[in-house]
């Protein structure tokens, strides 16, 4: 199948498929005499696996590790367990960070009356002077959490 067919079958953008190829997550397909990519069912299955992992907010490195375990069917799944345990830890930390962020935003929102001149707006004053906001722990797991709001090449 051509890349457009693969994209449609997997609900994945063409550029994302190419991105996964460049990242080494998806093996390079065979080429036609006219140099068009030709994908097979194994590519579709692997792409669906990658998309499922990314849907669970796994980083590309985590996906890569799981693919390595998947590609070695005789190996035990201890590495897969480790990846998932670490990912659960990332998610738990991110939930705590998001709760702290919610508290900060609510405190900021509470600092402003509904109708007043913008010069007196507690939100704008608070954003201009970060030291007035409650201090919270900085985001942890930056390597992993870079994809929280977007999935890079996805």
pLDDT confidence bin for 147, thresholds 50/70/90: very low
Mean pLDDT of 47-76: 95
φ, ψ of residue 37 in degrees (nearest 5): -70, 140
Q: Residues near 126 by Cβ (< 8 Å), separated by ≥ 6? A: 108, 111, 132, 133
Give the number of other Cβ atoms within 10 Å of residue 17's Cβ.
24
Closest by Cα among 81, 80, 61 to 144 = 61
Q: What class, spelled out in words, does domain 3-57 have in CATH?
A: mainly alpha
Mean pLDDT of 62-82: 94
What is the residue extent of each domain of the chain? Answer: 3-57, 78-138
Asked if 3 contacts 39 with a C-beta cutoff of 8 angstroms, the reply is: yes
pLDDT confidence bin for 43, thresholds 50/70/90: very high
| % of residues, the chain, pLDDT over 90 | 64
DSSP 120: G
pLDDT confidence bin for 146, thresholds 50/70/90: very low
Mean pLDDT of 64-85: 94
pTM: 0.74
Indicate if the pLDDT at residue 136 is higher than 60.
Answer: no
């Amino acid at each position: 199948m051509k890349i457009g067919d693969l994209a449609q079958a997997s609900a994945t953008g063409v550029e994302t498929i190419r991105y996964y190829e460049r990242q080494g997550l998806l093996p390079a397909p065979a080429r036609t005499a006219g140099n068009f990519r030709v994908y097979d069912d194994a590519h579709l299955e692997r792409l669906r696996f990658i998309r499922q992992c990314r849907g669970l907010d796994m980083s590309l490195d985590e996906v890569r590790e799981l693919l390595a375990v998947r590609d070695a069917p005789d190996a035990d799944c201890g590495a897969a367990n480790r990846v998932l345990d670490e990912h659960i830890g990332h998610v738990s930390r991110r939930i705590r960070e998001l709760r702290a962020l919610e508290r900060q935003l609510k405190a900021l929102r509470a600092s402003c009356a509904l109708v007043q001149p913008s010069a007196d707006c507690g939100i704008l004053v608070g954003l201009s002077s970060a030291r007035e906001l409650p201090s919270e722990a900085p985001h942890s797991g930056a390597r992993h959490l870079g994809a929280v709001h977007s999935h890079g090449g996805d």
